[in-house]
Structure 1
Amino acid sequence: MITSLQNGYVKKWRKLKRKRGREKEQAFLIEGFHLLEEALQSDWTVEEIIFREGIDIQNEWQPYKWFQVNDAVFQEITQTENPQGVAAVVSMKEIEWSGGSRVLMLDSIQDPGNLGTLIRTADAAGFDGVIVGQGTVDPFNDKVLRATQGSMFHVPIYVGDIAKWTAELKQQGFAIWATALDEATSYQHLPPVTPVALMVGNEGAGVQKDYLEIADERVHIPIYGEAESLNVAIASGILMYYLRS
């Protein structure tokens, strides 16, 4: 059992709490039984499993490199207020474009909960990938990972420049729908199309003007009450499911 906060493994795990550390190690931490189960059942590589004293090692963990740690160590490496007592290190992997008919493009999404929900909803709606543009919160942030509820391991996540992705997708015949409040058409007046890339933007500023100008359609969702706008994850969910109809 590891009991020292100065242990080399503990120092490495602690670094994974920061983006710089994750990028250097090309790995990230997940917490909780559900996320671990989803990771183990996916094609992602689980490097190490860490469990707190008092937690029994599960049979399915036996083939993996695992460590038991005391409560102080576990509290040091995790970020939830009431951790379940299990965590794991998962290797990052470069995901190559595999094609598809529907993708979600994210421009400068800053709230981790929103990003996680967007990934989870894209998975639920059967989208073929999520393109995370510059200015968007790190998809390996612990809050993002928890909000995905495991969908991180099921839907391809591509990180890159939105303008370049848009140009490449257009060459492949994709229509680009971008959400906007001004000079936009209600989605209800547009028939669903495929292949299509749905572009949604920053919680406060929306999709950048440069990206709006290269979109094939600017779409909006009617507001019937007094709310100024919809949460980006809610709006995206409505549009993703509409594009499935």
Structure 2
Amino acid sequence: MEKILSKKNERVKQWKKLLTKKGRTAAGAYLIEGSHMVEEAIKHQAPVREYILSETIAQEDKNKYPHDKLYIVSKEIAQTISETGTNQGFFAVVEIKEPTKPETPEKPYLLLDQVQDPGNVGTMIRTADAAGFAGVILGSGTVDLYNSKVLRSTQGSHFHFPVFQNDLGEWFDWFKDEHVPVYGTELNKDAASYREIPAASRFALVMGNEGNGMNRKWLERTDKNLYIPIEGNAESLNVAVAAGILMFALYQQN
């Protein structure tokens, strides 16, 4: 166990770098914040490198964590590495571990095309986990999985639920080779109401950017593009809400 009180400490500088994608990539690690997230990391045996506690709560909680990985910091340092207005004083540095792609898709997948709102992305990951999907693929242009707002919105699902960050093209090829239908989402004359699509145990669902929808090159490669009929006067649905409706409606377990 080590106590750090200076914001100029080299380890503090390294923690701050984890607040950027470049820093996370260089370190191969990311920072989580909040007692719930730290508890979820422990619960799911995430590869935690370091635990960080604010001195304001350390006396009560320090014995919950392995002392060889524990750092006690001043409340000023805690605020420096926090991305919330009022931090709880709980942090951890977690090693980035890429999930393994299975040989064949046994369950549905959710693909995200240039979805940029962190709250939407985290919510869709959490919902896909709840719906029983096999995983989520964050395509090019989609916000980084390890963005702090994404992580908070997942509520810890990413610790045990596969989330990939790849170009969508290789996944489209994989689904085609495995004879798995790919459904896009777009409102046009050729799109079908999701109610017309039989529920199935294997498929891929693509959700597009909040403002511009799916990229045209992906729309042209889908087996069918779907829409959700809107009965009221709302112009559209939030992308995370729409994804939740479609995931639960289209998936039928064997």
User: Is the pair's TM-score, using the shorter chain for normalization, greater than 0.5?
Assistant: yes
Match for 2:149 among 143, 150, 163? 143
Q: Partner residue of 1:161?
A: 167
> Contact 1:133 / 1:162 at 8 angstroms: preserved in 2?
yes
CA shift for structure 1 position 35: 0.6
Match for 2:232 among 210, 221, 225? 225
Q: Partner residue of 1:9?
A: 11
Task: Give me the whole-angstrom Cα distance separating, in 2, the residues matched to 1:43 and 1:35.
Answer: 12
Residue identity matched to 1:136: T
Does the alignment pair 1:194 with 2:201? yes
CA shift for structure 1 position 64: 5.5
Matched residues, percent identical? 46
Residue identity matched to 2:226: V
SS of residue matched to 1:54: helix
Mapping of 1:161-180 within 5 angstroms? 161-180=167-186
User: Where does structure 2 lack aligned partners over 5 or more consecutive residues?
Assistant: none
Task: Give me the whole-angstrom Cα distance separating, in 1, the residues matched to 2:229 and 2:82.
Answer: 41
CA shift for structure 1 position 212: 0.8
- Name the CA shift for 1:9/1:161 in 2 (closer, same or farther; >3 Å): same
Residue identity matched to 1:158: F
Task: Give me the whole-angstrom Cα distance separating, in 1, the residues matched to 2:67 and 2:162.
Answer: 26
Cα-Cα RMSD: 1.2
Task: Give me the whole-angstrom Cα distance separating, in 2, the residues matched to 1:244 and 1:64.
Answer: 45
Task: Give me the whole-angstrom Cα distance separating, in 2, the residues matched to 1:100 and 1:35.
Answer: 29
Q: Partner residue of 1:85?
A: 89
Match for 1:114 among 99, 102, 120? 120
Please list the CA deviations of residues 59-93 of structure 1 after superposition, one character each: whole Å capped at 9, or x if unmatched. Answer: 44126501000111111111100111100000001
Q: TM-score, normalization: structure 1? A: 0.97
Please list the CA deviations of residues 35-76 of structure 1 after superposition, one character each: whole Å capped at 9, or x if unmatched. Answer: 111111224201100000121235441265010001111111
Residue identity matched to 1:147: S
Q: Partner residue of 2:106?
A: 100
Please list the CA deviations of residues 88-127 of structure 1 after superposition, one character each: whole Å capped at 9, or x if unmatched. Answer: 0000012110243111000000000000101010111111
Match for 1:44 among 30, 43, 46? 46
CA shift for structure 1 position 208: 1.0
Does the alignment pair 1:61 with 2:68? no
Task: Give me the whole-angstrom Cα distance separating, in 1, the residues matched to 2:133 and 2:62.
Answer: 33
- Name the CA shift for 1:126/1:180 in 2 (closer, same or farther; >3 Å): same
User: Where does structure 1 lack aligned partners over 5 or more consecutive residues?
Assistant: none
CA shift for structure 1 position 187: 0.4
> Contact 2:33 / 2:91 at 8 angstroms: preserved in 1?
yes
Residue identity matched to 2:8: Q
Residue identity matched to 1:66: L
Count of residues paired in the alignment: 245
Match for 1:25 among 18, 24, 27? 27
Please list the CA deviations of residues 173-220 of structure 1 after superposition, one character each: whole Å capped at 9, or x if unmatched. Answer: 211011111121000011112310111100011111111111011110
> Contact 1:176 / 1:197 at 8 angstroms: preserved in 2?
yes
Does the alignment pair 1:237 with 2:244? yes
- Name the CA shift for 1:43/1:171 in 2 (closer, same or farther; >3 Å): farther
> Contact 1:104 / 1:197 at 8 angstroms: preserved in 2?
yes
